[in-house]
Amino acid sequence: MRVYELAKQLGVESKKLVAECKKRRIQVKNHMSSVSDPEARKLIEYFELLKKKEAEDDRRQSAVDQRKQIENKQREALSVARQALSQQVADMGRAMDEGRRKREEDERARLEAEAEMKAKIQAEQQVRAKSIAEQAILQRQVAAQKVQGRQGQASASDQPERRSTQAQQGGFDENQASAQGAGQSEHAQQCQFGAALRHGEHRHGVDEEAAHQQGHEGQHGEVHPVGARQVRHALRGLGGDGGTHARRQHQVRAPCVAVHALEQPDVDAAQLPQAPEERLRGGDVEHDHGRSRCRDAAQDIDRVPSRR
């Protein structure tokens, strides 16, 4: 059998079969050379084993390649999964951050709204308090103006009455001063009159002793003319200011020291100089009785209160 026919049967190239024949030391030159049948069967067995080996190698390589492909795909899938997980984690982190940021923003907005509301309420309260204070001040001013107006009206209405009261008070003060002066003058006159009466009583006692010595010269004793003149002078001194005191609002009444007028303190002072003088001149006053009455008159004069 020729070499090219065997190559065609084995499914190999003629060059490869010639090279294998030479390797096995089969005498061939080219593809036209002839090969014996035993040699041809050996070559067919070899190349069939070679094919099986190549097929096994190819299968193994294919399995390896397939496994490599699967591994590559797994690695790629894992990488994709990792990337997806990383992306998911990142998304979750961003979502959490976004939620936290959103919550923080909401809380900040709520606090700002509360602060703004509190500031608004405080401003309204301040405005209300200021308005109330202004109204209170205005009311006090109006009340003060009303009070001042009423006081002005009351002062204007009370001014004539006040002037009249001041005038009356001034007149009363003047009258009181005049009355005090008159009382002091009257007290001085009463002292003078009491002294004159005591002096007259002393002289009257002396005159009584002299009259007792004369005894038979007359039935009635005579009053000493000097004592009578002193009493009359004192009574005239008291009665001299009677007209002036009678013209005043508080009329000064001088006590009467006449014998029968001791119980009549309201006798006019102008009548004092005549009544005692007439009674003394009448000569109807007895010595003992006249002495006791003069003493009583002097005591009554001393008891007269002075007007101060």
pLDDT for res 86: 87
Flag whether 92 is in a domain. no
Residue-averaged pLDDT of the chain: 66
Flag whether 22 is in a domain. yes
CA atoms 135, 137, 138, 140: torsion sign: positive
Structure tokens at 274: 């005549």
Query: Which of 28, 49, 77 is the endpoint of a domain?
Result: 77
* Angstrom distance (rounded) from CA 196 to CA 194: 5
Cα atoms in the Cβ-side hemisphere of radius 13 Å centred on 59: 5
DSSP state of 285: -
pLDDT tens-digit profile of 154-180? 666 655 555 665 555 555 455 555 545
Flag whether 104 is in a domain. no
Flag whether 287 is in a domain. yes
* Angstrom distance (rounded) from CA 166 to CA 171: 8
- Cβ–Cβ under 8 Å, residues 291 and 204: yes
pLDDT tens-digit profile of 188-215? 555 555 555 555 555 545 455 544 554 4
Query: Which of 60, 77, 94 is the endpoint of a domain?
Result: 77
* Angstrom distance (rounded) from CA 173 to CA 179: 10
How many independent structural domains does the chain possess?
A: 2
Amino acid identity, position 223: V
Flag whether 308 is in a domain. no
pLDDT tens-digit profile of 25-41? 666 666 676 666 777 77
Q: 18 CB contacts (<8 Å, ≥6 apart)?
A: 3, 28, 30, 31, 33
pLDDT for res 119: 93
- Cβ–Cβ under 8 Å, residues 224 and 205: no
The separation between CA 251 and the C-alpha centre of its own chain, rounded to angstroms, equals: 64
Q: 286 CB contacts (<8 Å, ≥6 apart)?
A: 221
Amino acid identity, position 58: D
CA atoms 143, 149, 154, 155: torsion sign: positive
Query: Which of 39, 61, 77 is the endpoint of a domain?
Result: 77
Structure tokens at 116: 């703004």
Q: Of the given ranges (67-81, 154-168, 236-250), which has the lowest mean pLDDT?
A: 236-250
Q: What angle do CA 197, 199, 205 make, to 5 degrees?
A: 100
* Angstrom distance (rounded) from CA 287 to CA 41: 226
Position 256 confidence tier, pLDDT thresholds 50, 70, 90: very low
Structure tokens at 91: 């998304």
Check residues 87 and 28 and name the one with the higher pLDDT.
87
Check residues 115 and 171 and name the one with the higher pLDDT.
115
Flag whether 140 is in a domain. no
Nearest to 304 by CA among 268, 259, 262: 262
Nearest to 303 by CA among 262, 269, 273, 268: 262
pLDDT for res 90: 85
Flag whether 99 is in a domain. no
Position 57 confidence tier, pLDDT thresholds 50, 70, 90: confident
54 lies in which domain range? 3-77
Neighbours of 145 (CB within 10 A): 10
The separation between CA 1 and the C-alpha centre of its own chain, rounded to angstroms, equals: 140
